[in-house]
Structure 1
């Protein structure tokens, strides 16, 4: 076997990329554990007095557990509704792409991905206020709708790879359209469902702009919105602010670490098929 030579340009780029990612995380952790007096020391220095009380104080000042419950309600609801509705819409489109109306519908959904949110932001704010949807329920509904374009795009490519003979066999056995989808097609969408669920979870959990313009009651604020309010009120207390950021980041970091293989494999399968 030939000796493999080290690809130094790629290695150097990987090291630089790792440093770019790890440096902000390091700064966040160290600042969160410092006392206010230590902020005058070099930024990269380790804390002399490891103040884990910063996290307790940040929890109390931001009403963390209330915001956490709001984010959990929104994220879990959005993930479930997105999987149930978006896959169904994509299935109807994928199996009827030979019809002009469904082909138009597919391109209509795909084109919506290119519409910037600021263009529709003011009409959405106005409409949700008129319909009394400026709350968590309205936020959940909007997340499900906004994810439809991208999810239809990746679902359709995957559904086309599923043989129609499976559905025909189920119909011969007496299954109707609904039973065919939920008993035959939906289980086969497991890789793509995992990808959509994870991406939707990250999006709904981390999104800041939509809760900012939709939520009118501060008690219904999600974690990103609470971090913004906290930062504006305590802009000089970086230690508590960074502690609150870490508390909000930890759940999604754990989810992503355990689920990243499904994200990559699902996206690759959708792109190839």
Structure 2
């Protein structure tokens, strides 16, 4: 209650809301955990950056200290030794091809399975695909290498195809969980108007999958760009090496040129870092929608 002056000169009591400050308690255990986990990323990143600008002798003397003289010579050497423009173009072709085919094929397969989950054999097929996530790649590595060689797809095209197939299990889990939240009445009304199944998917369902398409596309992009093992065992022509394979040139039999190698790692990481900075909101929103709905 507070006292105010009335129009006639008297005083009156009126109600006034009392503002109370909300007490925000800090969860120190959670804060400490986040700080420790952030150090596991920040410390290696800091060491990589300072090492890339040092000379080998300075690295041996002071590992974590800042370089006394910042130099770009390591980046120039890495650019030349790895044939960076050519290898980056190969990695870009493989990555873009894997992303495009993954979005087109995995989304359609997931849509067909999610809309027929009431059938027993389709549900069994769904769990069959999901079970592939629990099969380690080293177990099937030798048969895959032999089959790709026999079929003549031990090249960039075969590598793109393998990324699409191996990513189907995880991508299907994301797509089907998201498709369950979409009302089927929209598709039924389009079918009544005369639209076929293909038209319904490509003109109605696929545009509505935009958040999940962004999530799957970015995850596939990062995987295909940074992968080392699959290109190592599949690609037989040295001229078709991807960027991670080209960076293996810094690993010698008795020593490793760490300063040039770390400079090369930063060059390879830059494109993906730029992609993630501009698209992280779609990754987070797509994953959250798919998990909550």
Does the TM-score normalized on the shorter chain lie above 0.5? Answer: yes
Give 1:50's aligned residue. 70
1:176 aligns with 2:196: yes
1:97 aligns with 2:146: no
Displacement of 1:229 after TM fit?
Answer: 3.1
Alignment RMSD (CA, Å):
1.3
Aligned residues: 273
Deviates more, 1:7-16 or 1:104-113: 7-16
Equivalents in 1 of 2:83, 2:253: separation in Å?
Answer: 14
SS in 1 for 2:70: coil
2:250 pairs with one of 224, 230, 235: 230
1:165 aligns with 2:205: no
Give 1:197's aligned residue. 217
User: Is the CA contact (8 Å cut-off) linking 2:250 and 2:256 kept in structure 1?
Assistant: no
Q: How does 1:59-208 map to 2 (within 5 A)?
A: 59-208=79-228
Give 1:271's aligned residue. 291
Bigger Rg, structure 1 or 2 = 2
SS in 1 for 2:252: helix
User: Is the CA contact (8 Å cut-off) linking 1:157 and 1:270 kept in structure 2?
Assistant: yes
User: Is the CA contact (8 Å cut-off) linking 1:68 and 1:222 kept in structure 2?
Assistant: yes
Deviates more, 1:147-156 or 1:256-265: 256-265
TM-score, normalised with respect to structure 1: 0.96
Residue-by-residue CA offset, 1:130-173 (whole Å, 9 max, x unaligned): 11111101000000000111111111111121111111111111
User: Is the CA contact (8 Å cut-off) linking 1:62 and 1:230 kept in structure 2?
Assistant: no
Give 1:253's aligned residue. 273
Pick closer, same or farther for the CA change 1:15–1:227 going to 2, 3 Å. Answer: same
Displacement of 1:65 after TM fit?
Answer: 1.0
Residue-by-residue CA offset, 1:99-156 (whole Å, 9 max, x unaligned): 1221111011001111100110000000011111111010000000001111111111
Equivalents in 2 of 1:159, 1:176: separation in Å?
Answer: 19
Structure 2 gaps of 5+ residues are: 1-20
Equivalents in 1 of 2:157, 2:188: separation in Å?
Answer: 39
Q: Find runs of 4+ consecutive structure 1 residues off by over 6 angstroms.
A: none
User: Is the CA contact (8 Å cut-off) linking 2:250 and 2:257 kept in structure 1?
Assistant: no
Equivalents in 2 of 1:66, 1:233: separation in Å?
Answer: 25
Equivalents in 1 of 2:51, 2:75: separation in Å?
Answer: 12
User: Is the CA contact (8 Å cut-off) linking 1:66 and 1:219 kept in structure 2?
Assistant: no
User: Is the CA contact (8 Å cut-off) linking 2:78 and 2:263 kept in structure 1?
Assistant: yes
Equivalents in 2 of 1:241, 1:265: separation in Å?
Answer: 35
